[in-house]
């Protein structure tokens, strides 16, 4: 997809096509949706990509289409290099094994994209404790586990990029009273809290590793992306919905954040259309980060 535009641009590697040749990228949650799109985009820019998720084969997930083997096949069809590694990011031992296998296959990790996510839209009063803990382990512990492991490669080499995938759900509802329409939209409290924690984690880690030339950033869609999970939860019906943005927006924005130097973007919490408009990829940003302000962390 071509993202033409007239917004200001930056002279950088990204502007020359996001060249990532020679870099090794690890993308979690790469079996479908945004994770798959980012993995394919990084590969098209020359990165060798390790694709991780729990769904290795088509049909392994009871409700959703997509698999690591399908993602890798799509990358290889376009001439890219990728390997699938099954990994549950809520399990630190599984993360260790995945990173060790990735190193043995392609070498040290240059880029990490923490995209894997799991949530249930259930009001707090009804939330099963086991599901709450499971979701928190994937969405918050997982990015910590993977970041800790890849920093063992990045810190000695004084380079690298970590990108965390967030959501506009991190923007809270504010204080009451609440309109009836908002009160009826229940069940997103946990997911929003997890993504807010991820944004704070992003900026904290960015400050810790900035002197090592490592960038840590956070990216959310400006508008809903009709991924299989989003459709399953009834948040969108298809890509033709008026409030839906193309999945390519997240993939292209991710490439910018993964390839820009740390001194330019580290610690940034941003949105797909905001960053694409800033870099001249689209003419105007819509949704969050464009027509509406983002989270408090995005304004720091």
Q: Is residue 11 part of a domain?
A: no
Residue 204: inside a domain? yes
Question: Among candidates 261, 243, 255, which has minimal Cα distance to 281?
Answer: 255
Q: Per residue in 52-79, is it b (16+ CB within 10 Å) or e — as a string?
A: bbbbbeeebbeebebbbbbbbeebeeee
- Note the pTM of the prediction, 2 decimals: 0.90
Residue 33 in any domain: the answer is: yes
Query: CB 211: neighbour CB atoms within 10 A?
Result: 9
Per-residue confidence of the chain (300 residues) as pLDDT tens digits?
334 333 344 444 334 444 799 999 999 999 999 999 999 999 999 999 999 999 887 655 556 678 999 999 999 999 999 999 999 999 999 999 999 999 999 999 999 999 999 989 899 999 999 999 999 999 999 999 999 999 999 999 999 999 999 999 999 999 999 887 665 456 899 999 999 999 999 999 999 999 999 999 999 999 999 765 555 445 545 455 547 899 999 999 999 999 999 999 999 999 999 999 999 999 999 999 999 999 999 999
Range of the domain at 228: 17-299
Count of domains in the chain?
1
What CATH number is given to the structural domain containing 56? Answer: 3.40.50.720
Kindly state whether residue 3 falls inside one of the protein's structural domains: no
User: Which residues are known to be catalytic?
Assistant: 166, 191, 195
């Amino acid at each position: 997809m071509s993202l033409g535009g007239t917004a200001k641009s930056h002279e950088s590697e990204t502007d020359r096509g996001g060249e990532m040749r020679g870099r090794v990228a690890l993308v979690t949650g790469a079996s479908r949706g945004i994770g798959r799109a980012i993995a394919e985009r990084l590969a098209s820019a020359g990165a060798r990509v390790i694709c991780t998720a729990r769904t290795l084969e088509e049909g392994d997930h009871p409700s959703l289409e997509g698999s690591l083997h399908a993602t890798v096949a799509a990358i290889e069809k376009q001439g890219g290099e990728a390997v699938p590694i099954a990994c549950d990011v809520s399990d630190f031992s599984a993360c260790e094994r995945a990173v060790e296998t990735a190193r043995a296959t392609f070498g040290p990790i240059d880029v990490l994209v923490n995209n894997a996510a799991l949530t249930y839209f259930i009001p707090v009063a009804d939330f099963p404790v086991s599901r709450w803990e499971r979701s928190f382990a994937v969405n918050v512990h997982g990015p910590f586990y993977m970041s800790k492991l890849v920093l063992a490669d990045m810190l000695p080499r004084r380079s690298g990029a970590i990108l965390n995938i967030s959501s506009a759900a991190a923007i809270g509802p504010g204080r009451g009273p609440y309109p009836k329409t908002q009160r009826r939209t229940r069940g997103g409290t946990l997911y929003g809290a997890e993504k807010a924690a991820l944004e704070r984690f992003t900026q904290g880690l960015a400050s810790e590793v900035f002197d090592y030339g490592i960038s840590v950033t956070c990216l959310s869609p400006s508008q809903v992306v009709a991924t299989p999970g989003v459709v399953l939860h009834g948040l969108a019906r298809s890509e033709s919905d008026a409030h839906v943005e193309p999945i390519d927006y997240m993939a292209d924005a991710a490439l910018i954040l993964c390839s820009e130097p740390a001194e330019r973007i580290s610690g940034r919490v941003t949105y797909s259309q905001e960053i694409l408009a800033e870099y001249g990829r689209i003419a105007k940003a819509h949704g969050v980060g464009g027509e509406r302000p983002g989270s408090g962390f995005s304004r720091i």
